[in-house]
Structure 1
Amino acid sequence: MEHRLIKHGFILIFLALITGLVIPAAEAPRLALSAHTIALMSGILLLAIAGIWHRLVLSERQLKVTYWGWIYSSYANWFAILFGAITGAGRMTPLAANGMTGTDFSELVVAFLLVSLSLAALVSASLSIWGVARKS
């Protein structure tokens, strides 16, 4: 799984670079800048997780949950904020959106993604901490 984490880390960094090019064209440029930054940080996070993956003492099932939680939360975070930047959906991110709001549907999509990715990240972070702590 380390190789796949590395691959996804670099894909997210690439997506961050592409996102940086569209910042001026976005409905909410500050949200687009946030999406750019999130993709960079998520890519680096996945590279770091790949570096310690072999140290996680977890069952196969726990490793899969951890892996998919990190992958989902990384991509969903980037996409949710980029989607908000394109559609102007900013209820969940009022500071970065500068008070903009989108259609009810776009706001619902962003809210669903942000809430679900937060839960996935919490589960993955908890399992990662537990997996590393069990090693020592």
Structure 2
Amino acid sequence: MDTQISRRLKMLGMILFLLGLLNGFILMQLKNPRMGLAAHLEAVMNGTFLVVCGFIWNELHLSNSLRKILLVILIYGAFSNWIFTLLSAVFGTSQTTPISGAGFTGTTIQENLVTAGLASVGITMLFSLLIIIYGLRGKPEEAKN
């Protein structure tokens, strides 16, 4: 089961990486190309992060329930980071991204959607990393396979 999850994380990471590369082709068609570039970079970096997580998955000392939680928030955080950053580029929002969004303003609904989305990403990615760091404690040979 853990080998399947490891492989799935690697596959999802490569899919997100590919989406990031494809995102790069449409930068100038977005309302805010600078945020489009940020979305491109988020997808490439988070795709790489998911691949790395796939490689370390079997090294983690975690209960099954904590592994399930980690898997869900990892996938949500990585893909949502790209999606909400891309939405910011499409809508031209700037409330939570004042530097990249300078000179742009979305509607109240658009701004609130992107703000809530990016806040949820920050929380899930923070917890993901804390769980991963916790799971990497102990000796390597004790890891669950």
Q: Quote how far apart the aligned CAs of 1:135 are.
A: 3.9
Q: Quote how far apart the aligned CAs of 1:134 are.
A: 3.4
The answer to whether the 8 A contact 1:26-1:86 is kept is: yes
Q: SS in structure 2 opposite 1:94?
A: coil
Q: SS in structure 1 opposite 2:133?
A: helix
Q: SS in structure 2 opposite 1:124?
A: helix
* Aligned equivalents of 1:103, 1:3: Cα separation in 2: 40
Normalising by structure 2, report the TM-score: 0.90
The answer to whether the 8 A contact 1:55-1:135 is kept is: no
Q: Quote how far apart the aligned CAs of 1:48 are.
A: 0.6
Normalising by structure 1, report the TM-score: 0.96
State the aligned residue count.
136
Determine which of 5, 25, 50 is the counterpart of 1:46.
Answer: 50
Moved more, 90-99 or 53-62: 90-99
* Aligned equivalents of 1:10, 1:115: Cα separation in 2: 24
The structure with the larger Rg is 2
Match of 2:38 in 1: 34
Aligned-pair identity in percent equals 33
RMSD of aligned C-alpha atoms? 1.0
Q: Where does the alignment leave 5 or more consecutive residues of structure 2 unmatched? A: 141-145
Q: Quote how far apart the aligned CAs of 1:106 are.
A: 0.6
Counterpart of 1:2, as a letter, is S
